[in-house]
Amino acid sequence: MHKIDLSHNRIKISKLLTIQVVMMLFAILVTYKWAINYVDIIEQRFLTNVIYGILGFIGVLIIHELIHKYLFFIFSKGQKPQFKYKNGILLIYLSSKYFNKWQFCAVMLAPLVIITIGLMLSFYHFAYSSIIFISSIHIGYCLIDIYLTAITIINKFKYIHSTDEGIFMYHHLPISINNDYE
pLDDT in tens, 32-80: 898 888 888 888 999 999 999 999 999 999 999 999 999 999 998 888 8
Q: Which pLDDT belongs to residue 133?
A: 93
Q: What is the DSSP string of 159-176?
A: EEEEETTEEEEESS--TT
| Average pLDDT value for residue range 89-96 | 76
> What whole-number distance in Å separates Cα of residue 126 and Cα of residue 95?
42
| Residue 180: C-alpha distances to residues 68, 77, 84, 125, 164 (Å) | 20, 9, 25, 44, 21
Residue spans of the domains in the chain: they are 2-170
Taking the model in full, what pTM does it have?
A: 0.86
Mean pLDDT of all residues in 150-176: 86
Name the pLDDT band for 175 (thresholds 50, 70, 90): confident
Asked if 149 and 163 count as a contact pair (C-beta separation under 8 A), the reply is no
pLDDT for 116-143, tens place per residue? 999 999 998 998 999 999 999 999 999 9
Q: Would you mind telling me the total number of residues written for the chain in this entry?
A: 182
- Integer Cα distance of 156 and 18 in angstroms: 27
Strands (E), 68-126: 82-86, 89-93, 98-100
Say how far apart CA 97 and CA 92 lie, in whole Å: 12
Contact yes or no for 170/70 (Cβ under 8 A): no
Judged against a pLDDT cut of 90, whether residue 179 lies above it is answered with no
Mean pLDDT of the chain: 87
Q: What is residue 12's predicted lDDT score, i.e. its pLDDT?
A: 72
**Residue 30 pairs with which residues in a beta bridge?**
none
Q: What is the mean pLDDT of residues 152-170?
A: 88
CA distance 118 to 124: 10
In angstroms, how far is CA 56 from the centroid of its own chain?
16
Question: What does the CA dihedral 163, 18, 151, 12 come to, rounded to 10 degrees?
Answer: -50
